[in-house]
Structure 1
């Protein structure tokens, strides 16, 4: 990791993203699903909801960094609540 000056939190972040992609690929193969329509009015699959969650979580965490001086862990908590809402209602 030293050749890129990565930190352990950065490595964990990318490992979590890679793990999510592998898990969702396995779920898609093992348990195929039909798209569903949620509150956005568009058809989404698990993969679509994962993408919406990752994108929204990135913006939420960046906003948290820019607008508050509080610990970033609270931004993560908000992103997890957002993720649960996306997978439940979108």
Structure 2
């Protein structure tokens, strides 16, 4: 796997995604959820909201990188705010 140029931030990113999937699976098994309707007027579950959060975070960080440059801490903070809003209102 030397062609992938794994770095610690890359490995940490994928480890966090995998950990989130495991945590959400365990929560889903222990506490099943009925879908709810939020401001998007579509039924969503925890997994749907996680997917929307991750997809939005990817776009937020790409826009941040394109407009502000290399230190992406601001984009990361905006991504956490986005995820909190998605889990609260979507």
Give the match for residue 84 of structure 1.
Answer: 84
Give the match for residue 69 of structure 2.
Answer: 69
What are the ranges of 5 or more consecutive residues in structure 1 without an aligned counterpart? Answer: none
Give the match for residue 22 of structure 1.
Answer: 22
TM-score (structure 2 length as normaliser) = 0.95
The offset of 1:33, in angstroms, is 0.6
CA–CA distance in structure 2, aligned partners of residues 41 and 7 of structure 1: 40
Q: Secondary structure at 2:53's aligned position in 1?
A: helix
Residue correspondences, number: 89
CA–CA distance in structure 1, aligned partners of residues 70 and 82 of structure 2: 19
CA–CA distance in structure 1, aligned partners of residues 32 and 80 of structure 2: 25
How much is the aligned-residue C-alpha RMSD, in angstroms? 1.1
What are the ranges of 5 or more consecutive residues in structure 2 without an aligned counterpart? Answer: none
